Amino acid sequence: MATAPQFPGLDFGDKFRFWPKHNEKIYERLDAKHAWIEEKRAAEGDGGMAATEWSEVDPLEHEMILNMGPQHPATHGVLRCVVKLDGETIEKAVLDIGYLHRGIEKLAESKTYQEFMPYTDRMDYLSPYSNNVAWCLAVEKLAGIEIPERAEWIRMIMCELARISSHCLWLGVGLMDAGAVSGFLWTFQQREDIYSIFDEVAGARFTVSHSRIGGVASDLTPRSFELIRAFCDSFKEELARWQKFLNRNRIWIERNKDVGRITKEEAIELGMTGPNLRGSGVEYDIRRFEPYLKYDEVDFTIPIREEGDCLARYFLRLEEMEQSIRIIEQCLDRMPEGPVRADDAKQAYPSKDEVYYSMEGMIHDFMYTDVGTQAPKGANAYHAVESPKGELGFYLTSDGTGRPFRVRINAPSFTNLQGMEYIMEGSLVADTVVIIGSIDPVMGEADK
């Protein structure tokens, strides 16, 4: 007689054993973790007892394990923070990620290079255009594709708009976490204006997929130029208004000053990137360190702060938005006329006019959709951009077909989370929300 299968059916009952085992390992890791705060307290020698001694005296009174997330408004989606508290101080912290189960690197290996473009929109969904450009530059480097100069300027404009959009959301949500709901509405109004520009340029507001391998999907319209210039003018005034309101606001300053502090040496050692690295005094920006597109031809400064706390990261991001406006205005003034895609049927899609009104265009469109870009067999390439959250890079290996053989993603949200555990230890539990906001992770990017 056949026996019942061992795997559970719809009624999991007591057979769903993953979650208890997973939790057990998380708590084991938390208990066995070495935290710097223990050494610090033991070395103080000021009469205060070390954390271990406190626990021997009255563990129920002073110690508590607290779960924040994964479904918590302040944990940016699906980030779970398991913290061990001594009173109100976080003694140890363990981050538990992977709740999205994306597998996006392996997914990329089953798509053509162009087919993977919409998936990059969903990584850091707060700045999809930067992800599009990072992917395109990596593929173009792998396949040796040259793009027209006008397309490079367009990509720069849109990437800087994406940086402002991402920082606006970071600021609005950070203000709301600190109790200032009005600021959230102000920043979202600016994001709406940027989305209107995306809608005019790309035909989509959120997941744009406007960048193409070999160029961009469409040229900027006269209406696009008007919208971008109007936004630059109005946003300068808006930014000045925010700075006037926040830079000397006592509540905002006290919630951020000396909170979540990390030194220059620690930031480098922990692999921090982007504003989190520059806020600790490390002048590292891919746009200057290894210029791509036309960043070496425009004039802008890289904001740096030495303090390394949440307040430094706030000031730095506001200064970055000012510099983004400066870059966009230079791009608008210096953009040359010309095509926006490479004129090679094996390297880029033909224009819609060619597809609709010529037999060759239709054949090329069909062939490119079926096969796509083909890089030389054995070629490999890594290309990174300075996304709003830091260094975003793709490493690609080709087997000579239209699909990548291997894809690896260097995601800034993932690397920044490496430092967050360290930053949280020694902080007050009330500051956790502010610290997470200042690091600005997006779990769609971290859960690769």
Please report the pLDDT score of residue 2 as a whole number: 44
Cα separation, 183 vs 241, whole angstroms = 11
Query: Which parts of 250-294 fold into alpha helices (H)?
Result: 250-256, 264-269, 275-278, 286-289
Here the tokens at position 153 are 């300027």
Confidence label for 346 from pLDDT (cuts 50, 70 and 90): confident
Strands 404-410 and 80-86: unpaired
Residue type, 307: E
Most confident of the following: 18-32, 71-85, 306-320: 306-320
Q: Are 317 and 175 in contact (CB under 8 A)?
A: no
Helix (H) or strand (E) holding 144: none
Cα separation, 143 vs 158, whole angstroms = 24
pLDDT value at 130 more than 50 = yes
Contacts of 330 (CB under 8 A, 6+ apart): 298, 299
Confidence label for 380 from pLDDT (cuts 50, 70 and 90): very high
Domains of the chain plus CATH, in order, are 104-344+375-446 (1.10.645.10)
Range scoring the smallest mean pLDDT among 76-90, 122-136, 282-296, 324-338:
76-90
Q: Are 198 and 204 in contact (CB under 8 A)?
A: yes
Query: Which parts of 33-148 fold into alpha helices (H)?
Result: 36-44, 51-57, 59-62, 104-108, 117-121, 128-143
Range scoring the smallest mean pLDDT among 72-76, 202-206, 394-398:
72-76
Q: What percent of the chain lies above the pLDDT cut of 70?
A: 90
Closest CA relative to residue 399, chosen from 103, 135, 134, 109: 109
Q: Are 156 and 293 in contact (CB under 8 A)?
A: yes
17 vs 437, residue with greater confidence = 437
Please report the pLDDT score of residue 127 as a whole number: 87
Strand positions, DSSP E, 49-187: 63-68, 80-86, 89-96
Dihedral of CA 401/118/147/142: which sign?
negative
Dihedral of CA 83/87/90/92: which sign?
negative
The model scores a pTM over 0.75: yes
Please report the pLDDT score of residue 140 as a whole number: 92
Rounded mean pLDDT of 421-429? Answer: 87
Here the tokens at position 105 are 């690197």
Dihedral of CA 25/99/447/284: which sign?
negative
Rounded mean pLDDT of 162-172? Answer: 92
Per the listing, tokens 């000021």 go with 46
pLDDT value at 361 more than 60 = yes
Confidence label for 6 from pLDDT (cuts 50, 70 and 90): low
- pLDDT, one tens digit per residue, over 311-322 is 999 999 999 999
Dihedral of CA 410/413/419/425: which sign?
negative
Cα separation, 6 vs 1, whole angstroms = 15
User: How many other CB atoms are found less than 10 A from the CB of residue 233?
Assistant: 11
Average per-residue pLDDT in the chain?
Answer: 85
